[in-house]
Amino acid sequence: MKKILVLLTALMFIFTLVGCSSTETKKDEPKEQTTAQETKENKESVELNISAAASLKDALEEINVNYEKETGNKVILNLAGSGKLVQQILEGAPADLFISASNAKMKDLVEKGNVEESAVSTLLENDLVMIVPKDSQEKVEKIEDLENVNGKIAIGEVETVPAGQYAKDSLTSLGLWDKIQDKIVYAKDVRAVLSYVEQGEVVAGFVYNSDATVAENSQIAQVVPADSHKPIVYPIAVLKDSPNAEAAKSYEDFLKTEESTKIFEKFGFKVPTK
């Protein structure tokens, strides 16, 4: 009888050890799986350098919040006049994807070999508008009024800011360019033009409709006739030497989703019909 009790006690002790070992193994498994998942996520997340026209600022900042949350990737946004961005890219600045405010600036990168022509597509369209300060003492209701105003008129640098070139083309087409050149103040990008008008430093300025949607102290006096300048389009393309080409293309596709296009439209952009 004593031998049987000893045997039963030994068996119970063995079963207890096996049970504890199994429980500890099961407890450890989720931890190992979680660690593996975290490692995978950290390994796959990338930093994307996006060079984009300054007029895209507000829309892209909102879209990027959604993109980063969905993908875990980080977007580093470099905003400036399209011509300035081209200069930076040609000088070796990091850029995975370029969004220009004109076909001409994108063409510069294609001709230099930085972008494949087949990779270029049109992301957005826009309108050029003339804005004036809300509390302006000058009566500027239409573009023709600029000939008789006493104050300054702001446009983007013609060589580096597409909106500046569009403005010059329009003013030339309307026969006003030569008459008002001494009143022109040049700005580094359209947001600088908007700032000049908002602060009352000029009596009028030429920006995109999308810029006017975020204005607080200025208003649209006139939409510039579309036939007085070239069509305003925003071409987009992944750079040939991007170290994150696949992720950059994925970001481009994200910008074309219904969710993103609604945000672009909210900020005054037009989405091309397919």
Confidence (pLDDT) at 4: 46
Q: What is the pLDDT of residue 5?
A: 44
Binding-site residues for molybdate, please? 55, 82, 163, 190, 208
Rounded CA separation 129/268 (Å): 11
Range 62-87 average pLDDT: 97
Mean pLDDT for the chain overall? 89
Q: Which CATH class is domain 44-125+233-266?
A: alpha beta
The answer to whether 44-125+233-266 and 128-228 have equal CATH topology is yes
Whether 126 shows a pLDDT value over 50: the answer reads yes
Confidence class for position 44, pLDDT limits 50, 70, 90: confident
Decide if pLDDT at 32 tops 90: no
Q: Is the pLDDT of residue 111 over 70?
A: yes
- Contacts of 82-87 with C-beta under 8 Å, sequence gap 24+, read 82/53, 82/160, 82/161, 82/162, 83/157, 83/159, 83/160, 83/161, 83/162, 84/160, 84/161, 84/188, 84/189, 85/51, 85/52, 85/53, 87/160
DSSP 121: E
**Sequence ranges of the binding site:** 55, 82, 163, 190, 208
pTM above 0.75, yes or no: yes
Hey, what are 182's tokens? Answer: 């001494």
For the chain, give every domain's residue range: 44-125+233-266, 128-228
Q: Which residues contact 47 (CB under 8 A, 6 or more apart)?
A: 73, 74, 75, 76, 244
Looking at domain 128-228, its CATH class is alpha beta
pLDDT value at position 137?
87
**Backbone phi, then psi, for 75, in 5-degree steps?**
-105, 125
Per-residue burial over 216-230, b if 16 or more Cβ lie within 10 Å, else e, is eebeebbebeeebbe
State pLDDT tens for residues 136-191. Answer: 888 899 999 999 999 999 999 999 999 999 999 999 999 999 999 999 999 999 99
> Which pLDDT band, with edges at 50, 70 and 90, does 238 fall under?
very high
With 70 as the cut, is the pLDDT of residue 36 above it? no
In the chain, % of residues over pLDDT 70? 84
Kindly report, residue by residue over 176-231, the tens digit of the pLDDT: 999 999 999 999 999 999 999 999 999 999 999 999 999 999 999 999 999 999 99
Q: What is the mean pLDDT of residues 111-120?
A: 98
- Give the pLDDT band of residue 1 (cuts 50, 70, 90): very low
